[in-house]
């Protein structure tokens, strides 16, 4: 049998091949690594949060049944469990391990690139692998997926590794490789059970040697037998000890053993189509198929065993999954990887044809070697040009990952600036889990529970918004940028806006307080302007409590951290009552951090207890800012260091 | 013969003599005769505390995905997984999880039986084939093993897999079979998942192939490659054991025998305290000294022993003893593996005796012309000596086995109370503290009888204090009653049921007491049933009041048909003015056809008879009797009466 690498080597020996692979890995690293910590601390992807939560449940309770994840293939949450249990600081949120986990996952995706190159090289020509790997690396779908901690990378890695090891074991008569292939397949299965469909190929491939070489028949049978024994033990664990067959209990799990049917060619073809179009339109794949046909002419240079094994694996995968009629693309990464190898094989057909063509042109003044190199360079150039638009799309995708997600800002803003309270947002909107500690990665001090997630939020009355004790609303930024106060401006306060901005990732949005400001005001002290206030009354009796809340707006942050003072003066200008403190609900948002001129800062609720012996009469309520360290006050242009809030009348007892 | 780089590849791994296999078969038959009888000892009551712990852990995993709620998630998973498989797949729907115990015990016995061929094989490699058979025989009749063999604990499995690992490692090292050396590692992993302490043997099993580097046998590269892959295997296994599985959190397992805070280098006294019981379980210490002397001839006859196997046996015994002793003085059950190694050494001593006898017999002129007899005689003498030495152990083991076959009366107690008494709280010493515990005692009755919470004799507290604690019953030893019948306050309690000392039964002798006195005595009889007395709420009542009363019965013989009790309130004219009929006891399952204990006092159900609102003031009679609910036939007294007068009842006029 011809060996694809030209010699009986497991690995290609050409330094140029390894250099090419290194360059492709660099390219993959460039595409996969940038923005690896996108979104964080907000966890956007549901599955990432689910796996993390399952891992945390394992640490806390010894199993993941609490999140209906105990029957899910265990490897992903076990990997997470290791990070959470042995690396995470005791008090840290489980989401803090996501960067490290994402980097680990990216490493797995990069190893997939190397395995595609190795498998392709085994099939026809060393360049087959490199061209397949290049085709794979720039695929936007893969680039996107590589940024999340999901089992797909590991599943693809261990499936391809199992195929490569099985091929090496069979083609090079290496028993250890055939054995390792079985273990690798087991690893793939514990990441996603669907890898089971490839098992017949990996288990039985050693028998090929017995068929090819009768002298090795006994060894081949023994190897196949022990492969089956190992796999039987694994299946015993998988099916009888591990609750694999109880997958129906997993939330949103796409597979149910109760819905299993016969393999369905239509479903398999639809799935294949989904995987193929992730690379390029179907009609172009037709051209690749024709190019693959060219390989028949050069069959002496093609390893059809490798071809059959790789293609057979894809076929089994497709038919296996068709028994569940599952066509979602994310279940077919391994098939897609094999299709990339097929693409590489098609280009290899063109390469061989080009080399033959150049070799037959007698007029060319080049040596045969140079003619081959010219043909190779031409094919590689064509490939590079062809992949350029895809690369640009992927590059654009990666750029988006590098953008800052403003939901992280929103978390920090509300945690430090607003009193705890429920919020309402759109049910299918981007903020329904922003303040969910388990699912959204929120790790703030204060709680902002989802008071109600309303479908078609904008079409509902304010009363629906206020339902379920909602204090705030997080709504999409209005289309009319000139009139941002479209959200019941008379009945709510627009606290903070996050307008559309290409520099940021995540939604544009506004934060509303679902209660109106009682009184407008426009006094100014330093850079801070009083936009209004709430006051529980203007007439009191001695001994009553006066409750006051300011609404501030700052043109720019102050240079020092300032506190608010609130003084009640009698007609003679004597201070009769006072209450001083940090201006907002939380002292982590000092005036030095009032950096958004469009923001309305919701002041803390000051409660001033009026003295029991306060004589009836009219008093003046004033507020101002002072530096608690130096005592220095903010003043306005008129030189005043306080703002008049309201006259307060103390009634006769 | 050595081939292939110096390996003894033609050396048989298994003995080839048919006599050897026949001997092993006989030993297996003998041990099965000792292990199997009474394999379902005590069931459904679960006597052993560990069996229900593993059962419960398995059931908890099925129910909630982890055994953490009973603090067993860090326990070595082997035996719990075995329980899990049986409880999940072999237990009938609705059955108690302990219903798989008979099957589990049979599996465990099979594993103990599996230890015997392994001992025989290791012993055969140690010196001669007969060494192995002697070791297997000694182990088979060891009462310590016979007493343990029936319980579904981890000891059988850890012993089996350690022996298998040692045998495979020795076979791999002496024949150069890499697959054996690798399988030895896997077998030890299996032992470790049953009991972590098997990890102390991991260095020995791993290092054994290296011995061939010293011997100059086999290719160095081949040996190092094997060692490398074994390191990889061990690394992967230890990664799982220490980082994925919560092995290092074992301190929170209840009654865990190896808490990390007790970890210390063992003193000679600790080592001896752990070693001595194991030695004694085989033979008295003095005899071990004699065996040590018998090892001397082996030193002279080098061809009669395998120094590698001997070294491994001694080192494995030492590693196990020292390793387990790191956690202080332990119970003998932690040392079954040590026991197997010592058994091998004892058998080796007997082989030394055979060698001595062979030397002596070779000088006897009488047998010079009978080479067959000359060859067989030393072995026969040694076997006869071994049989004589171990006959007492066999007898003791046979007695232990017989004890397991006896019926455990705690099951009778559970059935009796479940069917005969109203639910309530009970006090007892340790013997019965979990008899009614559904999780730990296997109780599967309908009614609940909660244990009051501390091991106690009735005399530990005044009766009033017991009653204040809500205790209704006491299950106490019967034996003290024989010496002093008044010991259980006969005036203040009712002795309901007795289970006197009886060698035919397993479990404690006991009495069941009702911690309330019988209010009124009676002597009436109907058929075979005698009314000993009754409780009555009051005999002076008004219309609309309720009469609450309870009978205390005793039956000479069971009735032919299940009869019910009728209770009638009769006026002076003999007319029924109120009645309450039902089966006689709290639970219908204990009908009068099962009143088969003439010494038992049957606590009648509490009857409530509501007086009619228009009942005329005056004198009435409360009478009770038995009737067959199918035929209406009543039981009669000797004088022909079909009812017993319980009490005169006076109905006073309604006030106001």
CB-defined contacts A:B, below 8 A: 30
Mean pLDDT in residue range B480-488 = 84
CA-wise closest residue to A163 among A298, A335, A15: A335
Q: How sure is the predictor about B482, in pLDDT bands with cuts at 50, 70 and 90? A: confident
**B90 near A CB under 8 A:** no
Q: Coil, strand, or helix at residue A237?
A: helix
Across the interface, whether the CB atoms of B66 and A65 are under 8 A apart is answered: yes
User: What helix, strand, coil percent values describe chain A, rounded to 5?
Assistant: 50, 15, 35
Q: How would you classify the pairing of strands A450-454 and A422-426?
A: parallel
Would the CB atoms of A82 and B81 count as touching at under 8 Å?
no
Tell me whether residues A82 and B243 touch, CB distance under 8 A.
Answer: yes
Bridge partners, residue A475, by sequence = A510
Q: Are A240 and B65 inside 8 Å of each other by CB? A: no
Instruction: Note the maximum CA span of chain B.
Output: 122
B89 touches chain A (CB under 8 A): yes
Contact B312, B320 (CB under 8 A): no
**For residues A274-292, average pLDDT:** 94
Nearest CA in chain A to B225: A176
User: By the 8 A CB rule, do B172 and B8 touch?
Assistant: no
pLDDT tens digits for range A410-419: 999 999 999 9
Burial B72-95 (b: 16+ CB within 10 A, else e): bbbbbbbbbbbbbbbbbeebeeee
The closest alpha carbon to A390, from A50, A31, A94, belongs to A31
- Cβ within 8 Å, pair B68-A61: yes
B583: left (phi over 0), alpha (psi -120 to 50) or beta: beta
The Cα of A62 is separated from the nearest Cα of chain B by a number of Å equal to 6
Q: Which residue pairs, CB below 8 angstroms and at least 24 apart, start in B29-32?
A: B30/B137, B30/B140, B30/B141, B31/B112, B31/B113, B31/B116, B31/B140, B31/B141, B32/B109, B32/B113
Give the sign of the dihedral formed by CA B264, CA B269, CA B271, CA B276: negative
Measured CA to CA, the distance from residue B426 to residue B418 in angstroms comes to: 13
Model confidence band, residue A5 (pLDDT cutoffs 50, 70, 90): very low
Q: Which residues of B touch A240 (CB under 8 A)?
A: 85, 88-89
Quick check: B8 pLDDT over 60?
no
Q: What is the mean pLDDT of chain A?
A: 93
CB proximity B591 to A under 8 Å:
no
Inter-chain residue contact A62 with B243, CB threshold 8 Å:
no
Tell whether the model's pLDDT for residue A649 goes beyond 90.
yes
Distances (CA, A) of A597 to A50, A556, A559, B583: 38, 7, 15, 87
Asked if residue A314 has a cis previous peptide bond (ω within 30° of 0), the answer is no
Taking an 8 Å cut-off on Cβ atoms, the answer to whether B73 and A78 are in contact is: no
pTM flag (> 0.90): no
Smallest Cβ–Cβ distance between B64 and the set A65, A81, A240 belongs to A65
Residues of B in contact with A75 (CB under 8 A): none
pLDDT of A390: 97
Who has greater pLDDT, B209 or B254? B209
Query: What does the longest C-alpha to C-alpha distance in chain A come to?
Result: 118
The partner residue sitting opposite B65, judged by closest CB among A65, A82, A240, is A65
DSSP designation for B451: E
Q: Is residue B411 predicted with pLDDT exceeding 80?
A: yes
A377 forms bridges with which residues in the sheet?
none
pLDDT in tens, A386-413: 999 999 999 999 999 999 999 999 999 9
Look up the ipTM and state it. 0.84
Q: What is the pLDDT of residue B502?
A: 94
Whether A599 and A499 have beta carbons less than 8 Å apart is answered as no
CB contact under 8 Å between A86 and B85, yes or no, is no
Name the minimum distance, in Å, from the CA of B151 to any CA of chain A: 23
Candidates A61, A85, A86; nearest CB to B66:
A61
The SS3 call for residue B482 is helix
pLDDT of residue B580: 95
Task: Sort residue B632 into left (φ over 0), alpha (ψ -120 to 50) or beta.
Answer: left
User: Could you tell me which residues come within 8 angstroms of residue A342 by beta carbon, excluding any fewer than 6 positions away?
Assistant: A132, A288, A292, A310, A311
pLDDT band at residue B149 under the 50/70/90 scheme: very high
Nearest CA in chain A to B64: A65
What is the nearest CA distance from A61 to chain B, expressed in angstroms?
Answer: 7
pLDDT value at A210 more than 90:
no
Q: State pLDDT tens for residues B164-210.
A: 999 999 999 988 888 899 999 999 999 999 999 999 999 999 999 99
Place of tokens 């004088």: B639
Inter-chain residue contact A62 with B65, CB threshold 8 Å: yes
Q: Tell me the shortest Cα–Cα distance from B172 to chain A, in angstroms.
A: 18
User: In this model, does residue B313 exceed pLDDT 70?
Assistant: yes
CA–CA dist A216, A210 (Å, integer):
5
* Mutation for B interface: A60, A62, A70, A80, most B CBs within 10 A: A62
Instruction: Report CB contact under 8 Å: A82, B85.
Output: no
Cβ pair A82:B246 closer than 8 A: no
pLDDT in tens, A487-546: 888 899 999 999 999 999 999 999 999 999 999 998 999 999 999 999 999 999 999 999
Q: Is the CB of B255 inside 8 Å of chain A's CB atoms?
A: no
Which chain B positions have a beta carbon within 8 Å of A82's beta carbon?
A: 243-244
Nearest CA in chain A to B246: A62
Q: With 70 as the cut, is the pLDDT of residue B462 above it?
A: yes
Query: What contacts B37, CB < 8 A, 6 or more positions away?
Result: B401, B402, B404, B405
Kindly determine whether residue B243 and residue A61, on different chains, have CB atoms separated by under 8 Å: no
Q: Do B67 and A62 touch (CB under 8 A)?
A: yes
Q: What long-range pairs does B181-184 form, CB within 8 A, spacing at least 24?
A: B181/B208, B181/B209, B181/B226, B181/B230, B182/B226, B182/B229, B182/B230, B182/B233, B184/B208
- Please tell me whether residue B388 adopts helix, strand or coil conformation: helix
Q: Is B491 helix (H, G, I), strand (E, B) or coil?
A: coil
Mean pLDDT (whole number) for B5-14? 63
* Residue B474: its H or E element: strand B471-476
User: Residue A590 is encoded by which pair of tokens?
Assistant: 């000092």
Residue B73 at interface with chain A, using a CB cutoff of 8 Å: yes
Interchain pair B68, A240: CB under 8 A: no
B85:A70 CB<8 A: no
Closest CA to B167 of B339, B319, B316, B2: B316
Per-residue model confidence (pLDDT) at position B7: 52
∠ CA A31-A34-A40 to the nearest 5 degrees?
135
> Residue A78 and residue B244: Cβ atoms within 8 Å?
yes
Residue range B353-362, pLDDT digits in tens: 888 888 888 8
| pLDDT, tens digit (0-9, with 9 covering 90-100), for A606-646 | 999 999 999 999 999 999 999 999 999 999 999 999 999 99
Distance separating the N- and C-terminal Cα atoms of chain A: 110
Q: Are the C-beta atoms of B9 and B3 separated by less than 8 Å?
A: yes
Task: Please answer yes or no on whether B65 and A81 come within 8 Å at the CB atom.
Answer: no
Between CA B1 and CA B12 the distance in angstroms is: 11
Between strands B424-427 and B471-476, the pairing is parallel
Mean pLDDT to the nearest integer, A87-109: 96
Whether B66 contacts chain A with CB within 8 A: yes
Q: What is the per-residue pLDDT for A2?
A: 39
Is residue A484 predicted with pLDDT exceeding 70? Answer: no
The yes-or-no verdict on residue A6 having pLDDT over 50 is: no
Q: Name beta bridge partners: A512.
A: A473, A494
Shortest CA gap B244–chain A (Å): 7
Q: Given this model, what pLDDT does residue A467 score?
A: 86
Mean pLDDT on A552-574? 96
Quickly list DSSP for A152-184: HHHHHHHHHHHHHHHHHHHHHT-HHHHHHHHHH
- DSSP character at residue B73: T
Q: Do B68 and A86 touch (CB under 8 A)?
A: no
Q: What is the DSSP string of A437-473?
A: TTTT----SS---EEEEETTGGGS-HHHHHGGGEEEE
Chain A residues in contact with B88 by the CB 8 A cut-off are 240
Q: Three-state DSSP class for B77? A: helix
Write down the mean pLDDT value for chain B: 92
* Token pair of A267 as six digits: 């479903």
Residues of A in contact with B68 (CB under 8 A): 61-63
Query: Confidence class of residue B11 from pLDDT cuts 50, 70 and 90?
Result: low
Task: Identify which has the larger pLDDT, A460 or B8.
Answer: A460
- pLDDT of B302 reads 67
Average pLDDT over residues A152-163: 98
CA distance A367 to A359: 9
Under 8 Å CB-to-CB from B453, ≥6 apart: which residues? none
DSSP string, A496-523: EEE---TTEES--EEEEESS--SEE---
Question: Is B4 in contact with B176 (CB distance < 8 Å)?
Answer: yes
Per the CB < 8 A criterion, the answer to whether B60 and B440 are in contact is no
3-state secondary structure (DSSP) of residue A402: helix
Residue B434 banded pLDDT, cuts 50, 70, 90: very high
Chain A, nearest residue to B67 by Cα: A62
Q: Does B64 touch chain A (CB under 8 A)?
A: yes
pLDDT in tens, A580-595: 999 999 999 999 999 9
CB atoms within 10 A of CB B592: 25
Of B65, B89, B243, the CB nearest to A63: B65
Q: Assess contact for A405 and A42: CB atoms under 8 A.
A: yes
Which residue in chain B has the smallest CA separation from A240?
Answer: B85
Chain A residues touching chain B at CB-CB below 8 Å? 61-65, 70, 78, 81-82, 85-86, 240-241, 243
pLDDT at residue B9, as a whole number: 55
Nearest neighbour of B89 by CB, restricted to A82, A240, A243: A240
- Does residue B6 have a pLDDT over 60? no
Strands laid side by side in the A470-476 sheet:
A450-454, A422-426, A470-476, A509-513, A493-498
CA B268 to CA B348: how far, in whole Å? 25
**CA–CA gap between residue B570 and residue A360 (Å, rounded):** 128
Over 50: is that where the pLDDT of B656 sits? yes
Nearest to A137 by CA among A272, A30, A35, A273: A30
pLDDT digits (tens, 9 = 90+) for A218-260: 889 999 999 999 999 999 999 999 999 888 877 777 777 777 8
**Please, are residues A64 and A77 in contact by the beta-carbon 8 Å criterion?**
yes
CA distance B510 to chain A (A): 42
B233-252 residues touching A, CB cutoff 8 A: 243-244, 246
CA nearest to B73 within chain A: A62
Shortest Cα–Cα distance, B247 to chain A (Å): 12
Which of B562, B656, B569 has its CA nearest to residue B621?
B569
**Cis preceding linkage at A41, omega within 30:** yes
Contact B244 A81 (CB under 8 A): yes
């Amino acid at each position: 049998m011809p060996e694809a690498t030209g010699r009986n080597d497991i690995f290609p020996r050409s330094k140029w091949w390894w250099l090419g692979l290194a360059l492709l890995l660099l390219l993959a690293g460039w595409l996969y690594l940038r923005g690896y910590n996108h979104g964080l601390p907000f966890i956007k992807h549901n599955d990432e949060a689910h796996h993390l939560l399952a891992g945390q449940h394992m640490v806390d309770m010894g199993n993941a049944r609490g999140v209906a994840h105990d029957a899910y293939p265990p490897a992903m949450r076990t990997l997470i469990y290791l990070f959470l249990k042995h690396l995470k600081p005791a008090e840290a949120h489980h989401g803090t391990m996501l960067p490290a986990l994402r980097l680990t996952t990216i490493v797995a995706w990069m190893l997939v690139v190397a395995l595609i190159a190795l498998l392709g090289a085994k099939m026809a020509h060393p360049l087959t692998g490199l061209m397949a790997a290049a085709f794979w690396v720039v695929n936007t779908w893969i680039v996107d997926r590589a940024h999340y901690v999901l089992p797909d990378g590991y599943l693809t890695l261990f499936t391809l590794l199992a195929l490569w090891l099985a091929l090496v074991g069979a083609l090079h008569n290496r028993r250890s490789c055939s054995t390792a292939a079985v273990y690798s397949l087991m690893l793939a299965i514990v990441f996603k059970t669907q890898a089971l469909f490839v098992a017949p190929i990996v288990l039985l491939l050693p028998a090929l040697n017995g068929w090819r070489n009768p002298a090795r028949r006994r060894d081949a049978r023994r190897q196949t037998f022990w492969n089956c024994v190992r796999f039987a033990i694994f299946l015993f664990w998988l099916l009888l000890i591990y609750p694999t067959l109880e997958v129906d209990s997993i939330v949103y799990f796409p597979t149910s053993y109760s819905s299993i049917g016969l393999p369905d060619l239509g479903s398999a073809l639809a799935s294949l189509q989904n995987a193929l179009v992730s690379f390029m339109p179907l009609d172009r794949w037709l051209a690749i198929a024709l190019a693959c046909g060219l390989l028949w002419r050069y069959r002496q240079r093609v390893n059809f065993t490798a071809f059959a094994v790789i293609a057979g694996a894809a076929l089994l995968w497709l038919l296996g999954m068709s028994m569940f009629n599952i066509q979602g693309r994310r279940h077919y990464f391994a098939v897609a990887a094999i299709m990339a190898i097929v693409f590489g094989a098609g280009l290899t057909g063109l390469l061989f044809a080009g080399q033959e063509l150049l070799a037959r042109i007698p007029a060319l003044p080049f040596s045969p070697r140079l003619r081959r190199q010219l043909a190779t360079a031409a094919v590689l150039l064509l490939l590079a040009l062809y992949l350029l638009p895809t690369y640009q799309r992927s590059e654009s995708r990666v750029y988006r990952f590098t953008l800052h997600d403003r939901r992280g800002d929103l978390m920090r803003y509300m945690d430090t600036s607003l009193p705890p309270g429920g919020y309402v947002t759109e049910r299918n909107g981007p903020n329904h889990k922003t303040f969910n500690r388990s699912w959204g990665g929120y790790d703030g001090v204060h709680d902002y529970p989802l008071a109600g997630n309303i479908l078609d939020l904008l079409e509902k009355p304010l009363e629906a918004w206020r339902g379920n004790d909602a204090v705030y609303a997080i709504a999409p930024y209005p289309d009319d940028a000139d009139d941002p106060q479209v959200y019941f401006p008379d009945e709510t306060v627009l606290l903070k806006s996050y307008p559309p901005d290409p520099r940021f990732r995540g939604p544009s949005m506004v934060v509303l307080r679902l209660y109106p400001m009682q009184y407008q005001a426009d006094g100014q002290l330093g850079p801070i302007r009083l936009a209004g206030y709430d006051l529980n009354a203007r007439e009191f009796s001695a001994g009553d409590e006066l409750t006051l809340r300011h609404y501030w707006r700052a043109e720019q942050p102050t240079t020092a951290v300032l506190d608010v003072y609130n003084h009640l003066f009698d007609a003679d200008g004597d201070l009769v009552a006072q209450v001083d403190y940090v201006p907002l609900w939380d002292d982590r948002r000092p005036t030095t951090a009032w950096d958004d001129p469009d923001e309305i800062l919701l002041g803390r609720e000051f409660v001033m207890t009026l003295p029991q012996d306060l004589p009836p009469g009219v008093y003046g309520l004033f507020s101002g800012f002072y530096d608690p360290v130096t005592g220095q006050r903010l003043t306005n242009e008129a030189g005043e260091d306080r703002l008049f809030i309201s006259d307060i009348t103390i009634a006769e007892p | 013969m050595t081939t292939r780089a110096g390996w003894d590849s033609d050396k048989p791994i298994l003995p080839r003599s048919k006599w050897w296999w026949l001997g092993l078969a006989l030993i297996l038959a003998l041990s099965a005769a000792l292990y199997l009888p009474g394999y379902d000892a005590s069931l459904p009551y679960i006597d052993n505390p560990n069996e229900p712990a593993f059962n419960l852990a398995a059931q908890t995993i099925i129910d909630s995905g982890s055994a953490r709620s009973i603090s067993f998630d860090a326990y070595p998973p082997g035996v719990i997984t075995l329980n899990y498989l049986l409880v999940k797949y072999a237990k009938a729907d609705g059955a108690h999880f302990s219903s798989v115990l008979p099957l589990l015990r049979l599996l465990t016995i099979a594993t103990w039986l599996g230890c015997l061929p392994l001992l025989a094989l290791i012993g055969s490699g140690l010196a001669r084939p007969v060494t192995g058979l002697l070791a297997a025989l000694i182990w088979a009749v060891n009462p310590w093993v016979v007493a343990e063999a029936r319980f579904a604990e981890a000891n059988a499995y850890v012993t089996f897999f350690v022996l298998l690992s040692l045998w495979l490692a020795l076979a791999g090292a002496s024949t150069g079979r890499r697959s054996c050396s690798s399988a030895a590692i896997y077998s030890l992993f299996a032992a470790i998942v049953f009991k972590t302490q098997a990890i102390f043997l991991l260095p020995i099993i791993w290092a054994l192939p290296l011995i061939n580097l010293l011997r100059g046998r086999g290719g160095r590269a081949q040996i190092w490659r094997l060692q490398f892959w074994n390191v990889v295997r061990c690394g992967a296994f230890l990664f799982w054991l220490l980082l994925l599985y919560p092995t290092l959190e074992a301190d929170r397992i209840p009654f865990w025998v190896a808490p990390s805070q007790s970890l210390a280098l063992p003193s000679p006294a600790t080592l001896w305290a752990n070693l001595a019981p194991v030695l004694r379980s085989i033979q008295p210490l003095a005899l071990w000294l004699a065996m040590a002397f018998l090892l001397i001839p082996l030193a002279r006859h080098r061809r009669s022993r395998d120094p590698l196997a001997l070294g491994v046996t001694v080192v494995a015994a030492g590693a196990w003893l020292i390793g387990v002793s790191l956690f202080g003085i332990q119970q003998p059950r932690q040392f079954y593996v040590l026991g197997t190694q010592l058994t091998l050494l004892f058998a080796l001593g007997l082989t030394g005796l055979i060698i001595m006898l062979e030397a002596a017999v070779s000088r006897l002129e009488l047998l010079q012309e009978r080479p067959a007899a000359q060859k067989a005689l030393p072995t026969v003498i040694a076997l006869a000596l071994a049989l004589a030495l171990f006959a007492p152990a066999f007898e003791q083991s046979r007695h232990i086995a017989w004890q397991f076959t006896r019926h455990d009366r705690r099951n009778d107690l559970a059935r009796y109370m479940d069917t005969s008494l109203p639910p309530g709280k009970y006090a007892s010493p340790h013997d019965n503290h979990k008899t009614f515990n559904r999780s730990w005692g296997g109780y599967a009755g309908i009614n609940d009888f909660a244990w009051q919470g501390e091991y106690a004799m009735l005399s530990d507290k005044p009766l009033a204090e017991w009653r204040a604690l809500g205790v209704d019953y006491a299950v106490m030893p019967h034996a003290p009653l024989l010496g002093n019948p008044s010991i259980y306050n006969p005036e203040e309690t009712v002795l309901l049921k007795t289970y006197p000392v009886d060698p035919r039964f397993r479990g404690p002798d006991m009495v069941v007491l009702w911690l309330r006195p019988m209010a009124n005595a009676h002597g009436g009889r109907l058929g075979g049933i005698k009314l000993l007395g009754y409780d009555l709420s009051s005999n002076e009542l008004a219309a609309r009041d309720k009469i609450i009363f309870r009978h205390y019965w005793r039956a000479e013989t069971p009735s032919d048909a299940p009869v019910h009790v009728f209770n009638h309130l009769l006026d002076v004219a003999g007319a029924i003015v109120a009645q309450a009929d039902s089966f006689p006891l709290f639970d219908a399952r204990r009908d009068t056809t099962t009143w088969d204990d003439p010494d038992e006092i049957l606590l009648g159900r509490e009857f409530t008879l509501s007086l009619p609102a228009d009942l005329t003031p005056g004198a009435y009679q409360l009478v009770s009797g038995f009737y067959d609910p199918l035929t209406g036939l009543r039981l009669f007294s000797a004088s022909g009466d079909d009812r017993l007068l319980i009490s005169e009842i006076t109905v006073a006029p309604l006030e106001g």
